[in-house]
Amino acid sequence: MINEKFVLVGAALNLMGSSTYAWNTFKGRTKPNRVTWFLWALAPLIAFAAQINEGVTWASIMTFMVGFGPLVIFTVSFIDRKAYWKISNLDIICGITSLLALLFWYLTGTGVIAIMFSIIADLLAGIPTIVKSWKEPETEHHAVFRNGALSATITLLVIDDWTFASYSFALYILLICLLLYVLIRFKLGKKFSKPAKNVGKSSS
């Protein structure tokens, strides 16, 4: 365990990553799906409120920043003509899941349930970006996900009371950010698809 105030370093890393992505969005270098980024803001902010309700202190800062960053990117996307609205059935399910998080939290008074549903909603919202990062990594920017993974790692290292409310969202963010960082940074989708294309050409 490291000093809990290191969470502030993680928060700064999150802000830097989000600012870089927002800047690239402003310049038209990235093409964010507004629906995904809105839902990526909503779910963590619900989880943040639930963590506060459950008495989580320092670890909740990362959760807040994970929601605040996408909120900034979502706002900036309205300046970028390449940004778009694309509402799929998955987005609708994700939105309903986020609302269920609030509903069950209200009915049960248990923040853990809200956090669990928020993780599910955030993951569902991220599926289109995971697919896009595999197929079109050049339309994304890896810095925001790299910094997100670093921030989540720092958060996990400062936890001394390992309850579901304190560690679950940070662990989830670490895993999904690592996946997205690797897909975008190393363009794995492009690399793995090339051999398949070559095989198809040689057999024709």
Q: What is the pLDDT of residues 19-55, one digit of tens each?
A: 988 998 888 888 787 888 888 899 999 999 999 999 9
How many whole angstroms separate alpha carbon 189 and alpha carbon 36?
A: 20
**Nearest alpha-carbon partner for 39 in 95, 88, 90, 82:** 95
Q: How many domains does the chain have?
A: 1
Domain range enclosing 25:
4-203
Percent of residues, the chain, with pLDDT higher than 70: 95
**Tens digits of per-residue pLDDT, 52-64?**
999 999 999 999 9
**Tens digits of per-residue pLDDT, 131-182?**
889 999 988 889 889 999 999 999 999 999 999 999 999 999 999 999 999 9
Token output for 167: 């560690």
**Given a cut of 90, is residue 190 above it in pLDDT?**
no
pLDDT of residue 168: 96
Token output for 204: 């024709």
pTM of the model: 0.82
Task: Work out the pLDDT band at 195, boundaries 50, 70, 90.
Answer: low
